[in-house]
Amino acid sequence: MTRLVDSFQREITYLRVSVTDKCNLRCIYCMPEEGVGLKSHSDILRIEELARIVRIASQLGITHVRLTGGEPLVRQGILTLVCFLSETPGISDVSMTTNGVLLPGLARPLREAGLHRVNVSLDTLQPERFKKITRRGHLRSVLDGLKAIEDVGLSPVKINTVVLKGINHAEVEDIAMLTKENPWTVRFIEFMPFWNNGWQFGNRYVVPIHEIRDKIMAQGAYPVESDAGRDDRKDKSGRGPASYVKFPGAKGSIGFISMKDHICSSCNRIRLTADGFLLPCLLSDISVDLRTPLREGVKDDVIAGLIRKAVSLKPENGQVAQTRATCPGANPSLSKIGG
Ligand code: SAM
Ligand code: SF4
């Protein structure tokens, strides 16, 4: 079998695909109220183009694709794309990260199209706070969405919670308690400053993730080896990027993620932006344009060569690469890169 290996002997098996830069929410930590400057419609890859890139990547050794955005469920043709990807030989895992708002109506069709599992972003269980954080949308739709994915068997369910000082950090215990009765993995994520989302305000929202872990441990949780479900990325001992704990007798588990703890040495991922650039590292400004050659009508082996090139450019360490970033577009918000 073909393997995609970078210059530091890391095997790349995981592709995150941003399918749109549009979103139906405006989370305060992700984008400004007015939204981010959207790319023109013609710049965004078409469904067939996305599917073609994934097919070629699968022949090189990519086995897992995660669809993200922006909000992937606002993308027209998303079901067709999931269908294409789930039928692509070599792709054994098709997952999605979504804000969950549209899941009540889409969980079943997504399941039928072949989606395997979903991560849902949920930062609060308080309806008013939900409005404050997302600036629009209703908590009810996300809760109904969680129920819908469970009902159709899109599991294991993971919940991503960005912890924001002074906004939701007093609620982390309540959110963690969801794991007592539900077989869900709740993952607390340290707020990352990006352009367009508060970088200019310094670290005012950041709560160090170890403080959250301490809080949860103080409630009686104990460390577990890894989460119950599969993680997207594991080190040689099989651990993912989050450390996990569990409440006694709980059905689910709780994880803690910080970019500072990012394990570059075991990173197995690359990202495709909605407008067709391949990013070998979230933190560096390196990108390889696939859209232009794709639209010039090049053959598959040219695209394959460009994917290999992007992988060969993957820096050893993202934090170091970030300090050397020269491009003014480096470090844009996650909604642009595809979080
Ligand atoms: N719209 C989808 C969603 O919200 O799940 C997918 C895209 S979103 C950019 C992907 C993930 O990035 C979400 O879990 C979101 O909470 C997280 N995220 C966005 N901005 C962030 C930031 N500044 N710090 C930490 N996580 C962030
Ligand atoms: Fe939209 Fe997701 Fe960003 Fe929130 S985190 S604004 S839902 S892309």
Sign of CA dihedral 53, 56, 60, 66: positive
Percentage of the chain surpassing pLDDT 90?
Answer: 73
Using pLDDT thresholds of 50, 70 and 90, give the confidence band for residue 278. Answer: very high
Ligand with minimal distance to 257 CA:
1
**Better-predicted residue by pLDDT, 283 or 113:** 113
Alpha-carbon span 263 to 231, nearest angstrom: 13
Coil vs helix vs strand at 28: coil
3-state secondary structure string, 247-266? CCCCCCEEEEECHHHCCHHH
What is the end-to-end Cα distance of the chain in Å, rounded?
29
Tell me if 185 CB under 6 Å of ligand 2.
Answer: no
Dig out the tokens for 253 from the structure: 């588990």
The answer on pLDDT for 46 being more than 80 is yes
How close is the Cα of 306 to the center of ligand 2, in Å?
A: 29
Beta bridge partners of 13: none
- Cβ pair 318, 6 in contact under 8 A: no
**pLDDT for 326:** 42
* Ligand 1 pocket residue status of 189, Cβ below 6 Å: yes
CA 28, 34, 39, 41 torsion-angle sign: positive
Cβ(115)–Cβ(93) below 8 Å = no
Question: Which pLDDT score, from 0 to 100, does residue 34 have?
Answer: 81
**Could you tell me the pLDDT band of residue 338, with boundaries at 50, 70 and 90?**
low
What number is the average pLDDT over the span 86-113?
A: 98
pLDDT one-digit tens code per residue, 225-244: 765 444 444 444 444 455 89
How many angstroms from the chain centroid is the CA of residue 221?
A: 26
For the entire predicted model, the pTM comes to 0.91
| C-alpha–C-alpha distance, residues 84 and 95, integer Å | 13
- Cβ–ligand 1 distance for 95 under 6 Å, the answer no
Q: Give the pLDDT confidence score for residue 302 in this predicted structure.
A: 98
Q: Rg of the Cα trace of the chain?
A: 19
Q: Encoding tokens for residue 255? A: 């994880």
Contact 338, 69 (CB under 8 A): yes
Average pLDDT over residues 62-76: 97
CATH class of the domain comprising 14-337? alpha beta
Q: Which atom of ligand 1 is nearest to the CA of 161?
A: 16
Domain locations in the chain?
14-337
